[in-house]
Structure 1
Amino acid sequence: MKNILILNAHEYYSFSQGKLNGSLVEIARSTLTANGYSVQKTTMTDAYDVDTELEKHRTADAVIVQSPVNWMGMPWSFKKYMDLVYTAGTDGRLCNGDGRTRKDPARQYGSGGTMTGKKYLLSLTFNAPADAFDDPAQKFFEGKSVDDLFWPMHLNFRFFGMEPLPTFSCHDVVKNPEILNDLSRYEAHIRTHFPAIRP
């Protein structure tokens, strides 16, 4: 991997100004750059061009999605980005539709991805504490994991033929934040999964 695309999915609210997600984007960008990677970035609050975004995906070896978790999913502005950019990419730039054709009805649904060999990483910030997940005694998530909650997002990238890197998450960021620890953990996560490129 050499080329990385970072998508900052944060949507501004008066009570959530995006400082943590912005800091995590900057940690990833600076660490990756220092390790020899070429980094491009798109932020949902900026204007973007659909064809340019598709080209960024096509040239990226890995895509990092940095996002707060809003109502158990991605912010609306990133969903709009997906609807515009990813739908346009079904012309073969990201996938050839769902992979099936009338001439070959036996092909499996979701087999049309044209981004095989590429990776993606979800980096998420939660109000929910970490111990709310992976524990059947916790009633709300019923023992499910962060990746269970974001299974639809994983399926979106699988639709393109991409493979996941381990998900990173910050927890309890509103009521019991440990920001310095989160930033340190994230830098270590990036260094682990994007090791320095030797010249």
Structure 2
Amino acid sequence: MNDTTVLWVHAHPEPDSLNGRLARHGMSHLRTTGATVLESDLYRMGWRPILDRQGLAPEGEPFRPTEHVRAAFATGRLPADVAAEQKKIRRADGIVVQFPLWWYGMPAMLKGWFDRVFVAGFAFGTDPDTGRRLRFEHGPFIGKRALVVATMGDRPASIGPRGKSGHFPELMFGLLHGTFAYTGMSALPPFAVPSADFLDDAGVSQAAAELTHRLDGLFTERPLAYRPQFQGDYTDEWELADHVRPGEAGLSVHLHDG
């Protein structure tokens, strides 16, 4: 893992929580492998998660988020905190996004990081010279790898293929496919720590060891095989073409080996 740069983004309000301990363990391990580690601890940073017109749209004019943020990015007028996070992403070969699963999604603090940082022109859009849509296999972040690390109260079986809460990779479809793969990143199978509120010291040690193993494969593990958008699997309406897995539906059809 020498000569690689990893951005670790995490969001938990308590530094001594399981999330905090796993983040410190993971970043420390990456550094022992020779990787450069960049960190965005959103609560410690006091990250402002709200995307609004502030500094982006003239007063008296309706705020059009995509249009105004794209223009601010193109002219170098994004807020300094957003520009700093975008610089980290540009530097990173791999991104670890870590959070506690709250109501089956990311904490608002982390969702707001994506809302403000992954903006039009930077994370997606259209090439101004060629007109090519910059997404999926044409995304601006091709070559970067992304790993989700999440803690949760659910039991292990409840996030399995037949679990009540939904199979975890499908539960994270919006982030894995709709954000990482959409922007060109290679999304790895997510790492889950279930029953997090009930782990004893041995359980915490086991979770740390399993996380270490996943981090060792950050640049070698096979990513989720999401289908490319522009190679014949989808119609112009972005629907799976009739000849691809005919008669099937659901999130798994968007994986080559689903």
TM-score normalised per structure 1: 0.80
Contact 2:135 2:184 in 1 (8 A): no
Match of 1:150 among 160, 172, 175: 172
- Structure 2 counterpart of 1:168, one-letter code: F
Match of 1:162 in 2: 185
Label 1:37 to 1:172 Cα distance change in 2 as closer, same or farther (>3 A).
Answer: same
Post-superposition CA distance 1:30-73 (Å, at most 9, x none): 11100010000001111451000000001100000011100000
Match of 1:8 among 4, 7, 10: 10
Match of 1:51 in 2: 83
**Bigger CA radius of gyration:** 2
User: 1:25 deviation in Å?
Assistant: 1.0
Match of 2:152 in 1: 126
Match of 1:190 in 2: 215
Post-superposition CA distance 1:160-182 (Å, at most 9, x none): 11001232110101245522211
Label 1:17 to 1:117 Cα distance change in 2 as closer, same or farther (>3 A).
Answer: closer
SS in 2 for 1:71: coil
Match of 2:54 in 1: none
SS in 2 for 1:64: strand
Contact 1:100 1:112 in 2 (8 A): no
Match of 2:101 in 1: 69
- Structure 2 counterpart of 1:43, one-letter code: D
Match of 1:115 in 2: 141
User: Which protein has greater RCO, CA pairs closer than 8 Å, 6+ apart?
Assistant: 1
SS in 2 for 1:127: coil
The worse-fitting range, judged by mean Cα deviation, of 155-164 and 50-59 is: 155-164
Distance in 2 of aligned mates of 1:66 and 1:19: 13
Contact 2:86 2:117 in 1 (8 A): yes
Label 1:109 to 1:35 Cα distance change in 2 as closer, same or farther (>3 A).
Answer: closer
RMSD of Structure 2 on Structure 1 (CA): 2.5
- Structure 2 counterpart of 1:115, one-letter code: F
Distance in 1 of aligned mates of 2:23 and 2:193: 13
Distance in 2 of aligned mates of 1:58 and 1:109: 16
Contact 2:98 2:149 in 1 (8 A): yes
Distance in 2 of aligned mates of 1:135 and 1:160: 27
User: 1:18 deviation in Å?
Assistant: 5.6
User: 1:189 deviation in Å?
Assistant: 1.9
User: 1:108 deviation in Å?
Assistant: 8.8
Distance in 1 of aligned mates of 2:94 and 2:11: 16
TM-score normalised per structure 2: 0.63
Q: How many residues align?
A: 180
SS in 2 for 1:5: strand
- Structure 2 counterpart of 1:149, one-letter code: L
Match of 1:28 among 15, 26, 29: 26
Label 1:108 to 1:128 Cα distance change in 2 as closer, same or farther (>3 A).
Answer: same
Find out whether 1:41 has 2:50 as its counterpart.
no
Contact 2:169 2:190 in 1 (8 A): yes
Distance in 2 of aligned mates of 1:35 and 1:108: 33
Find out whether 1:180 has 2:208 as its counterpart.
no
User: 1:133 deviation in Å?
Assistant: 2.2
User: 1:80 deviation in Å?
Assistant: 1.1
Percentage of pairs with the same residue: 24
Distance in 2 of aligned mates of 1:124 and 1:134: 15
